[in-house]
Structure 1
């Protein structure tokens, strides 16, 4: 199997970007559709919110299990099959007659999304030139980032115009587009060499992988805790909510180039140095923003602090994913899936922990608590790797 040698991004990498764009939209867009969905299905909004929980839990728990099962199979076959299941689950959700059937379909979609996500990162690393794995991984990450400020708002807008079911049709169309691009251009990338179950589970016994998973979990908890309660923090700082749209727009605009920056750092400095730069910078940026909010700094200065935070927050994923593949080259898909599960575990805990802080000491403590989580992540990720800087998949 040859590696890509040209510097221009190949078409199949764009297909991976579109695939993760569909995943990110499917994950986050439901939050904006809950009231209409609940009214249509004659359930409470809280009950409808369990659709988000089911998708996230299935994704987090299913990712490592499916990675172990599917790791030996050719990557092309795995990702195209998973995309097909994901697409059909969303198409069926558009015509689901009951809440129970919709719950089941969200579980199927979450499981398929877990397979697509893990395989997409493995494919990006495996098919990249030896000096550009980080940048290829950043393209996959960028799909999730773009979903936050394009796919999710567009999906919610389509749902408001034509009903919540139309949003699932939109996600189906985006997933179909990804399938077409990948079917046309994705090279034949072999799965992991034949091995027993014990060997495929080796990342579970790899201390470096587990420390990276812990770091990812802490990064997810800290970063998403801050992002989730940003509205409360801005109200504390600015006295009203008029600043929120501008801050969210700024965060989104900086997100995509920051993801590519994380990939470039991974390529230039290797996994360890790049992850320590980004995780450490993220912690310091949170302290900076928290201090600006505590001092009721002028809005332009606060925007500058938020821009600094955004750079490090969105640059996190490529160095951490590259480091994980470095740490477990014998089973990269399994290792990546553990990282993804850690991220979702951190995300799930962020809202709960943040709520306790907001209702207790107050919203002002959120950025400092998040910075503490990132500091622990930095410590967990500070080990020296014995693997070469190049990602070997």
Structure 2
């Protein structure tokens, strides 16, 4: 009999939809914020940068501190802080108050995301870790074509402050849902700081974080300049971008779910090789297309869809691999370290892609991205013997039935 997914998994989907939307949504209302608060557009843009930087640096730091606490408590408290930060942002009378709210929101989102992925990995039944991680990861992917467009429309219709009220409301609903449904994942045993920082000395974990860094640098470099790439391939047709972004969202959502099933069947390391290998092929096809001169929109859409499936399939296998390499006692810290690798890769992607566009041509962006993704592929460690079959659940089995009272 097919096992039904628990309700807490979909609450975590909603949780990551909220935190990811908060990360991306402000890009759609930057001009409005700049005009309302009487700052330059570049200054308003720093509201995006500071969230990402704080998120990247705060995730591993806060994870070390919060590793020993029950994950449900960490997520609920973190979400409440996230809600407060967005309420403050919605009410901010000036730029610096808004900036402070973005810092606080970034820190809260970082710890919530780390705890959510740890809960998912440790709360999954044997043989279903990948599927569970895929569902939760798809919340972040869904933000690209649901939360972000909705928030941007809301900001245009009712003002930029309405977008932060929306995120605060979703965050509050998610916190209530976790209070009622979240499984009882205990914190790790008390341990000295040296032991809690062990992922920083774990060669397998660090190698996997580097895999994430290079994969993010390559994949997000292409995504960052997708608009310019689409215009180049479609011979100046700007209206194609919205269609391509929709394709990316739908294909990416499917990719996250399919990647989860793949690692349940083959193990996280094998699944990781499959996903990154497919990503290499997708970027290579994008490079061939832009140099071929073929401007057919159907061909362009197929190539973008193929690439997006692999691009957004990364999180389930990389997180499963890292949990397996680090172990449950420091799993949250290891996953948070991986988040830092992801966000640092995002920053590098924009910088390198910008340099390529400035000094060469947009055609060379998918070429450079393919090179970085290939390096990522060759860095993937070999699968451990226990990972050769089904992935199973990370760490020791937990007794986490959905019928447990919320306070246990």
TM over 0.5: yes
Alignment of 1:230-379 (within 5 A): 230-240=226-236, 241-297=238-294, 298-329=296-327, 330-379=329-378
Contact between 1:326 and 1:390, CA under 8 Å: does it hold in 2?
no
Shift of 1:384: 3.7
Task: Tell me the matched-pair count.
Answer: 389
SS of the residue 1:358 aligns to: helix
Distance in 1 between residues matched to 2:254 and 2:226, nearest whole Å:
22
Distance in 2 between residues matched to 1:268 and 1:191, nearest whole Å:
29
Aligned to 2:191: 195
Aligned to 1:137: 133
CA 1:98 to 1:386, structure 2 compared with 1: closer, same or farther past 3 Å? farther
Task: Choose which of 78, 82, 105 in structure 1 pairs with 2:78.
Answer: 82
Any stretches of 5+ residues in structure 1 without a counterpart? none
Shift of 1:245: 1.5
Deviates more, 1:376-385 or 1:165-174: 376-385
Cα deviation per residue 1:256-282 (whole Å; 9 max; x = unaligned)?
Answer: 121011101111111111100110110
Contact between 2:221 and 2:365, CA under 8 Å: does it hold in 1?
yes
1:160 maps onto 2:156 in alignment: yes
SS of the residue 2:43 aligns to: helix
SS of the residue 1:184 aligns to: helix
Distance in 1 between residues matched to 2:66 and 2:18, nearest whole Å:
21
Aligned to 2:403: none
Cα deviation per residue 1:301-348 (whole Å; 9 max; x = unaligned)?
Answer: 222111111111111110011001011113110110011110000011
Shift of 1:386: 5.7
Task: Give the TM-score normalised by structure 1.
Answer: 0.97
Distance in 1 between residues matched to 2:92 and 2:221, nearest whole Å:
33
Distance in 2 between residues matched to 1:367 and 1:42, nearest whole Å:
38
Alignment of 1:42-81 (within 5 A): 42-81=38-77
Task: Give the TM-score normalised by structure 2.
Answer: 0.93
Contact between 2:125 and 2:392, CA under 8 Å: does it hold in 1?
no
Distance in 2 between residues matched to 1:83 and 1:350, nearest whole Å:
29
Deviates more, 1:242-251 or 1:319-328: 242-251
Task: Choose which of 163, 173, 186 in structure 2 pairs with 1:177.
Answer: 173
Q: Which runs of 4+ in 1 moved over 6 A?
A: none
Contact between 1:67 and 1:118, CA under 8 Å: does it hold in 2?
yes
CA 1:60 to 1:250, structure 2 compared with 1: closer, same or farther past 3 Å? same
